[in-house]
Chains A and B, each alone.
Chain A
């Protein structure tokens, strides 16, 4: 397991980090974005469970503003953890694609 705890491509924490990689978002925007790029529909319970863990680990942080629709942004350690997890996945994907004889393009 990666030191950041990000394991599978459909892990809610990983999806949240990917979503926040292009800018801060609040809960509803996160859920919509994740459904759009990954096809994964995260319920409010699962989404906020993952947000809680990521905040605790310092990988994302809340921004000021509306208490009810508070946006979150990725932190530098969060970006590093995401880059590491994506590199791991890319390595595995490259091997899989090569072994299947598929065109990596």
Chain B
């Protein structure tokens, strides 16, 4: 393998900055021009390490941009999705009363959130297609690549969690600290994957010119998504309270439900009013004015 091909293990930005220097060093190091296996393995290890560093920096930057409320929502969404294997494997057929109702509530909240996110994506799809056809892919490739990698990791974490379920009952799972830690880790990994997809969607949206009606709809759908996450949290805690017979968790769920019942309609109402103002202002709202200059208009 030629030294230049080994550089592919490194991230693009790193190659642009240090690639030529590294190749010169390899030329100086290798006598006959053919890298040894030790050198190749060192390059592969170094490249993967750089990719890891880059991923860490990207995650830190993304986390800094997120408000605490968004981080909480991502964590809860990840946690709820991580509990789905357990919910589907153990409930509702083998559950009773509150347990089954709470599990159905969790599943309904997940379905609602997924439908809302799907609807948001579909409304922006025509503009996205035009943007990609106009050569916009390089502008979002990095974010999509990271999100895809994180999704693969999340899939692995969920598969591992599902494999660990076996035929254990709720009580056995609740008593297992290994399962609890695995659940938390899987929840975080899934949350990170969703966060990276959100970042990719935001990066893409910044390049699009969306009609006021679509932007107004996105505002409302965003408020509905946050409400769905609140419902996920309430139903998740209700489910846990039912499976663990915990009054404390039940009270926590009811308090959160009471708070959410007040906040959610206000939040959605605010989004509707803001959307109306946006539509009344008229004209296409350019999220990123430079997008219109460089790629033309990709109106939805």
- Please report A residues at the B interface, Cβ cutoff 8 Å: 26-28, 31, 43-49, 51-52, 67-70
Contacts and interface: CB of A to CB of B under 8 A. Distances in A.
B28 interface: yes
Nearest to A45: B46
B47 to A, nearest CB: 7
Nearest to B44: A45
Given A51-B18, A52-B18, A68-B20, A44 B39 contact: yes
Nearest to B35: A44
Contacts of A26: 21, 25
Contacts, number: 60
Nearest to B40: A45
A70 B21 contact: yes
Contacts of B45: 45-46
A2 to B, nearest CB: 20
Given A43-B46, A44-B29, A51-B18, 6 more contacts: A43-B42, A44-B42, A45-B47, A48-B46, A49-B46, A69-B21
A48 B20 contact: no
A69 B24 contact: yes
B100 interface: no
A51 B50 CA distance: 12
B45 to A, nearest CB: 6
7 contacts: A27-B24, A28-B25, A43-B43, A44-B22, A44-B43, A45-B43, A47-B25
A49 B49 contact: yes
A13 to B, nearest CB: 13
B38 A48 contact: no
A52 B57 CA distance: 14
B137 interface: no
A99 B2 CA distance: 52
Contacts of B14: 52
A48 B21 contact: yes
B152 interface: no
B21 A68 contact: yes
Contacts of A48: 18, 21-22, 25, 46
A46 B21 contact: no
A67 B49 contact: no
A19 B28 CA distance: 18
A44 B44 CA distance: 11
A43 B39 contact: yes
B23 interface: yes
Contacts of A28: 24-25, 28-29
A52 B17 CA distance: 10
Contact of B23 (A31, A45, A68): A68
